[in-house]
Chains A and B, each alone.
Chain A
Amino acid sequence: MPTIKVPPVLRPQTGGEAEVAVAGATVGEALRALVAAHPGTSEQLFSPEGELNRYVNVYLNDEDVRVLDGLDTAAGESDTVVILPAMAGGRR
Chain B
Amino acid sequence: MEAGTLKLEEIQKRITELTPEQAYEEIEAGGDHVLLDTREPHEYAEAHLEGATLVPPAEVAERIDEIAPDPSQRIIVYCRTGSRSARAVHQLQEQFGYDNIANVSGGIVEWQQKGLPVAEAEGMTSGQRERYSRHTLLPEVGVEGQIKLLSSKVLLLGAGGLGSPTALYLAAAGIGTLGIVDDDVVDESNLQRQVIHTTDRVGEPKTSSAKQTIANLNPDVEVIEYRTRLDAGNILEIIKDYDIIVDGADNFPTRYLLNDASVRLRKPVVSASILAFEGQISTFVPFEGPCYRCLYPTPPPAELAPSCGAAGVLGVMAGVMGLLQANEVIKLAAGIGEPLIGRLLLYDSLGTRFTELKVRRDPECPICGPDAPEITESEMGKFPDYELFCA
A interface residues, Cβ below 8 angstroms from B: 5, 7-9, 18, 44, 54-57, 59, 62-64, 67, 82, 84-92
Q: B248–A85 contact, CB under 8 A?
A: no
Select from chain B the residue with minimum beta-carbon distance to A55: B300
Q: List which B277-309 residues lie within 8 A (CB) of chain A.
A: 277-278, 280, 295-301, 303-309
**A9 surroundings in chain B (CB, below 8 A):** 275, 304-306
- Between-chain CB contacts (< 8 Å), 22 pairs: A8-B276, A9-B275, A54-B297, A55-B297, A55-B300, A55-B301, A55-B304, A57-B295, A62-B356, A82-B357, A84-B357, A85-B300, A86-B299, A88-B250, A88-B252, A89-B273, A90-B160, A90-B249, A90-B308, A91-B161, A91-B182, A92-B161
Q: A88–B277 contact, CB under 8 A?
A: no
A48 CB to closest chain B CB (Å) equals: 14
Q: Per-position contact with A for B175-217: 1 when CB-CB < 8 Å, else 0?
A: 0000000101000001000000000000000000000000000
B244 at the interface (CB under 8 A from A): no
Q: A88–B249 contact, CB under 8 A?
A: yes
Q: A92–B307 contact, CB under 8 A?
A: yes
Q: B280–A87 contact, CB under 8 A?
A: yes
B358 at the interface (CB under 8 A from A): yes
B386 CB to closest chain A CB (Å) equals: 12
Q: B358–A91 contact, CB under 8 A?
A: no
- State which of B160, B311, B348, B360 has its C-beta within 8 Å of the C-beta of A67: B360
Instruction: Give Cα distance in the complex from A90 to B157, angstroms.
Output: 10
B174 at the interface (CB under 8 A from A): no
A78 CB to closest chain B CB (Å) equals: 15
**A84 surroundings in chain B (CB, below 8 A):** 280, 344, 346, 357
Of B182, B274, B305, B313, the most chain A CB neighbours within 10 A belong to B305
**A8 surroundings in chain B (CB, below 8 A):** 275-278, 311
A64 CB to closest chain B CB (Å) equals: 7
Of B162, B272, B357, the most chain A CB neighbours within 10 A belong to B357
Select from chain A the residue with minimum beta-carbon distance to B292: A86
Q: A92–B308 contact, CB under 8 A?
A: yes
- Since A57-B295, A84-B346 are in contact, a sample of 5 more A-B pairs with Cβ atoms closer than 8 Å, ordered by chain A residue number, is A55-B298, A88-B252, A89-B273, A90-B308, A92-B161
Of A9, A18, A54, the most chain B CB neighbours within 10 A belong to A9
Instruction: Give Cα distance in the complex from A88 to B306, angstroms.
Output: 8
* The 8 nearest A-B residue pairs measured at CB: A91-B158, A91-B160, A90-B248, A91-B250, A87-B273, A55-B300, A86-B296, A90-B162
Interface Cβ pair total, 8 Å cutoff: 115
**A18 surroundings in chain B (CB, below 8 A):** 348, 350-351
Instruction: Give Cα distance in the complex from A67 to B247, angstroms.
Output: 27
Select from chain A the residue with minimum beta-carbon distance to B187: A92
B107 at the interface (CB under 8 A from A): no
**B299 surroundings in chain A (CB, below 8 A):** 55, 86
B184 CB to closest chain A CB (Å) equals: 7
Instruction: Give Cα distance in the complex from A87 to B184, angstroms.
Output: 20
Instruction: Give Cα distance in the complex from A44 to B305, angstroms.
Output: 11
Q: A64–B161 contact, CB under 8 A?
A: no
Instruction: Give Cα distance in the complex from A22 to B31, angstroms.
Output: 84
B34 at the interface (CB under 8 A from A): no
Q: A82–B273 contact, CB under 8 A?
A: no
Instruction: Give Cα distance in the complex from A82 to B295, angstroms.
Output: 14
**B247 surroundings in chain A (CB, below 8 A):** 90
Q: A86–B305 contact, CB under 8 A?
A: yes
- State which of A82, A86, A89 has its C-beta within 8 Å of the C-beta of B250: A89
B100 at the interface (CB under 8 A from A): no
Instruction: Give Cα distance in the complex from A66 to B221, angstroms.
Output: 44
Q: B162–A91 contact, CB under 8 A?
A: yes
B66 CB to closest chain A CB (Å) equals: 53
Instruction: Give Cα distance in the complex from A47 to B358, angstroms.
Output: 25
B318 CB to closest chain A CB (Å) equals: 8
